[in-house]
Amino acid sequence: MATLWAADSDNNGAERLTIAVARPEDQIEPSRCALGVSEGPCRCWRAPFQVSDHGTLGQLILCRRNPNAPGADDLTFVEMIGQLLAIEVEQHERTRQLAYQAHHDTLTGLPNRLLFEDRLRQALEAARRSKSIVAVLFIDLDRFKQINDTLGHGVGDALLVQLARRFEGCVRTTDTLARHGGDEFMLVLAHVTGHQQVTRVAGRLHDMLRMPFLIDGRELFVSASIGASLFPADGEDAETLQRNADAAMYWAKSTLRNSFQFFNATVNRAALERLQLETHLRRAVERGELFVYYQPKVDRHGHLAGAEALLRWCHPQLGLIPPVRFIPLAEELGLIVPIGEWCLTEICRQTREWQRRGFPPLKIAANVSALQFAQPNFIPMVHQILVQSGLDPRWIELELTESMLMGDVDAVIRHLSELRALNLTLAIDDFGTGFSSLAYLQRLPISVLKIDRSFVMRIGKTGDESERGIVSAIVTLGHHLHMDLVAEGVETPAQHAFLQTSGCDLFQGYLFSEPLPPTLFEHLMRGGTVPSPLWRM
Ligand code: C2E
Ligand code: CA
Ligand code: CA
């Protein structure tokens, strides 16, 4: 209970009036109240004070030596104090809430990036004084996007909340676990004894993921890649330490999912290379360093029947950079959207040019990345490119992957139907690696299945019965659904023979030709043979 106000209305204190504030549950006994009233009889009154949406916050205690009841003036006065108090409390509460929101993640309630960085700086200052070690851990969930995309954001959010509670359970109160955004978490460990202790903490975090998460009656498993950097060895300041923990996490993820990695010289070199590649990639389109190569597809009679367009990057200093090195990076940076747009434009332009020059028309397949496909303006963009090129859309095939077709079935069907209405062909690339069911495929306007190279690769090797079985099943299934079957990665006559017998319609692979630059592809279209593997990369 705190005295707010006390005043004597006469000189000798006989009329002393005291006002105090108490908690709602406080019981005030008039005889023991003695709010500044030292002796003689006194009377107390209580008046609750309220804040609009918080109910009764406390009570005002009015105490007076004079045993008479308070007059109307006294009561008005108390009421006014009550109102002022309510305003003050409300203001205080709002400020507190704003401060909390500014420093915490609304979904998980964990500290956010801002508070994390603040705590990290404090930990570093303390460590500089005490010459101790601080560890920064960067935790990133593997394939979380897939959960979000296929099961919806509600499930993804529920998973993040459960995960935050589990992670919280395995750190000390002196450590700070924060949500860095999306599916990334950060952890700062103060007063660390060395690498071993950090490895143990990372192990505990991984252990937390062994048990499934139960969400909407569904059991879900996630794994996480973790990277760590230590102060002072891996960085002197918060920014460097976070960047290096991130680089270590990235390395962990790219080598083996669900693993842990400390920052070191190798990680550093890889991060620098990646950064360099990133800078160059951003300028690759405008500098005209990207090219499209064409890999022929042949039919059952060995005739040229089409081609797949494949991107190539030729950097003046770094040389030829294969798609496996730059396409995942371009996807991660969102650069695949402008790159994909450029690529489709170039493919349509080239195909149209070949037709204008009198080459027999061929269907050319373009690869579409998941990110491109997910852009709200993807279909209008494709439409516009087709119109501007003046090419008949039936000469373009778009290769999609199974993972793009997961999620809301009706939405996928609508999307594909709109795309199909542009009069181009839709194919599923790398078929057999995803989870498409027969019933599902039947509902999609897909006309081509490309059997994944991993099945074709094993044909002709000892113990290839299951691959042969899978290929035959895919061909039967595809034909049943009136689709054309393309076998890719055909390298040997034995593979070709088996695929022929199975009933595949088209064949693509090094056995026939590598992807070729347009001039060499023209040579092939003229009926020429393909030169030796000059162009492999
Ligand atoms: P993909 O779509 O599965 O393309 C087939 C890959 O297999 C190509 O690799 C091709 O050169 C290679 N290949 C063809 N025949 C054989 C063979 O007989 N043996 C072996 N070992 N490999 C063969 P590439 O050109 O390196 O492309 C790799 C991946 O990069 C592609 O896989 C595709 O996912 C992606 N990619 C290429 N170009 C583009 C593009 O323009 N846009 C997008 N989004 N992705 C592209
Ligand atoms: Ca492809
Ligand atoms: Ca493929």
Domain chopping of the chain, boundaries: 2-103, 113-263, 275-528
Bridge partner residues of 184 (DSSP) = 140, 181
Residue 130's pLDDT is what? Answer: 95
CA nearest ligand 1 atom 24, residue = 323
CA of 453 to the centre of ligand 3 (A): 7
In this predicted structure, the answer to whether residue 391 has a pLDDT above a threshold of 60 is: yes
Tens digits of residue pLDDT in 456-513 = 999 989 889 989 999 999 999 999 999 999 999 999 999 999 999 999 999 999 999 9
Tell me how far apart the 2 most distant CA atoms of the chain are, in Å.
121
Q: Can you point out the beta strands (E) in 337-482?
A: 363-367, 396-401, 425-431, 448-451
**Which residue in 288, 307, 310 sits closest to 296, CA to CA?**
307
CA of 398 to the centre of ligand 2 (A): 9
Ligand 1 atom closest to the Cα of residue 322 is 26
| Percent of the chain scoring above 90 in pLDDT | 66
CB of 164 closer than 8 Å to CB of 186: no
Superfamily of domain 275-528: EAL domain (3.20.20.450)
- Mutation probe of ligand 1 site: the residue of 367, 371, 403, 486 with most atoms within 8 A of C-beta: 367
Residue 49's pLDDT is what? Answer: 73
The confidence band for 256, taking pLDDT boundaries of 50, 70 and 90, is confident
Residue 47's pLDDT is what? Answer: 75
Q: Which helix (H) or strand (E) holds 380?
A: helix 378-389
How far out from the chain centre does Cα 525 lie?
44
Residue 355's pLDDT is what? Answer: 97
Q: Is ligand 1 within 6 A of the CB of residue 430? A: yes
Q: What is the dihedral of CA 330, 376, 437, 143, to 10 degrees?
A: 40
CA nearest ligand 1 atom 4, residue = 310
The confidence band for 535, taking pLDDT boundaries of 50, 70 and 90, is very low
Tens digits of residue pLDDT in 297-324 = 999 999 999 999 999 999 999 899 999 9
Residue 537's pLDDT is what? Answer: 42
In this predicted structure, the answer to whether residue 4 has a pLDDT above a threshold of 70 is: no
The confidence band for 69, taking pLDDT boundaries of 50, 70 and 90, is low
CA of 310 to the centre of ligand 1 (A): 6
Taking the C-alpha atoms of residue 183 and residue 141, their distance in angstroms, rounded to an integer, is 6
Query: Do the domains 113-263 and 275-528 sit in the same CATH topology, yes or no?
Result: no
Query: Average pLDDT of 383-390?
Result: 98
**What does residue 198 show for φ and ψ, rounded to 5 degrees?**
-65, -40
Tokens of 246: 């991130």
CA nearest ligand 1 atom 3, residue = 430
Query: Average pLDDT of 326-335?
Result: 92
Query: Average pLDDT of 395-413?
Result: 88
CA nearest ligand 1 atom 21, residue = 489
The confidence band for 135, taking pLDDT boundaries of 50, 70 and 90, is very high
Ligand 1 atom closest to the Cα of residue 430 is 3
Residue 120's pLDDT is what? Answer: 97
Cβ neighbourhood burial of 413 (10 Å; 0-12, 13-18, 19+): middle
Q: Which helix (H) or strand (E) holds 3?
A: strand 2-7
In this predicted structure, the answer to whether residue 217 has a pLDDT above a threshold of 90 is: no
**Which residue in 276, 356, 287, 346 sits closest to 311, CA to CA?**
346
Q: Is ligand 1 within 6 A of the CB of residue 296? A: no
Residue 94's pLDDT is what? Answer: 86
Q: Is ligand 1 within 6 A of the CB of residue 323? A: yes
Residue 534's pLDDT is what? Answer: 42
Q: Is ligand 1 within 6 A of the CB of residue 429? A: yes
Domain 113-263 maps to which CATH number in 3.90.220.20, 3.60.21.10, 3.30.70.270, 1.20.1260.60? 3.30.70.270
Residue 12's pLDDT is what? Answer: 63
* Closest ligand, as measured to the CA of 373: 1
Taking the C-alpha atoms of residue 261 and residue 138, their distance in angstroms, rounded to an integer, is 10
Angle at 282 between CA 278 and CA 286, to 5 degrees: 150
Tens digits of residue pLDDT in 144-199 = 887 887 788 899 999 999 999 999 998 998 999 999 989 999 999 999 999 999 99
Residue 134's pLDDT is what? Answer: 98
The amino acid sitting at 334 is G
Taking the C-alpha atoms of residue 456 and residue 298, their distance in angstroms, rounded to an integer, is 16
CA nearest ligand 1 atom 35, residue = 323
CA of 350 to the centre of ligand 3 (A): 22
* Helices (H) then strands (E): counts for the chain: 18, 20
**Which residue in 242, 229, 232, 198 sits closest to 124, CA to CA?**
232
Residue 31's pLDDT is what? Answer: 54
Residue 38's pLDDT is what? Answer: 45
- Ion ligand 3: residues, CB < 5 A: 429-430
Kindly write down the DSSP assignment for every residue of 456-514, as one continuous string.
HHHTTSTT-HHHHHHHHHHHHHHHHTT-EEEEE---SHHHHHHHHHHT-SEEESTTT--
Taking the C-alpha atoms of residue 106 and residue 251, their distance in angstroms, rounded to an integer, is 30
User: Roughly how many angstroms between the first and final C-alpha of the chain, as a whole number?
Assistant: 80
- Mutation probe of ligand 1 site: the residue of 298, 310, 339 with most atoms within 8 A of C-beta: 310
Q: Is ligand 1 within 6 A of the CB of residue 491? A: yes
Query: Average pLDDT of 394-421?
Result: 90
* Closest ligand, as measured to the CA of 399: 2
Q: Is ligand 1 within 6 A of the CB of residue 322? A: yes
CA of 307 to the centre of ligand 2 (A): 10
Query: Average pLDDT of 51-76?
Result: 72
Residue 201's pLDDT is what? Answer: 96
Query: Average pLDDT of 11-15?
Result: 62
Residue 353's pLDDT is what? Answer: 98
CA of 456 to the centre of ligand 1 (A): 14
Query: Average pLDDT of 240-263?
Result: 94
Taking the C-alpha atoms of residue 159 and residue 169, their distance in angstroms, rounded to an integer, is 16
Which whole-number Å values give the CA distances from 307 to 177, 214, 351, 424, in the listed order? 51, 46, 10, 15
List Cβ neighbours of 530 (8 Å cut-off, separation of 6 or more).
296, 512, 513, 514, 516, 520, 523, 524
Residue 1's pLDDT is what? Answer: 61
Residue 36's pLDDT is what? Answer: 44
Query: Average pLDDT of 371-389?
Result: 96
Taking the C-alpha atoms of residue 291 and residue 149, their distance in angstroms, rounded to an integer, is 32
CA of 463 to the centre of ligand 1 (A): 26
* Closest ligand, as measured to the CA of 432: 3
Write a three-state SS string for 149-209: HHHCHHHHHHHHHHHHHHHHCCCCCCCEEEEEECCEEEEEEEEECCHHHHHHHHHHHHHCC
The amino acid sitting at 91 is Q
The amino acid sitting at 392 is D
Residue 40's pLDDT is what? Answer: 56
Q: Which helix (H) or strand (E) holds 291?
A: strand 290-298
Tell whether the torsion through CA atoms of 419, 424, 430 and 431 is positive or negative. Answer: positive
Q: Is ligand 1 within 6 A of the CB of residue 189? A: no
Ligand 1 atom closest to the Cα of residue 310 is 38
Residue 37's pLDDT is what? Answer: 46
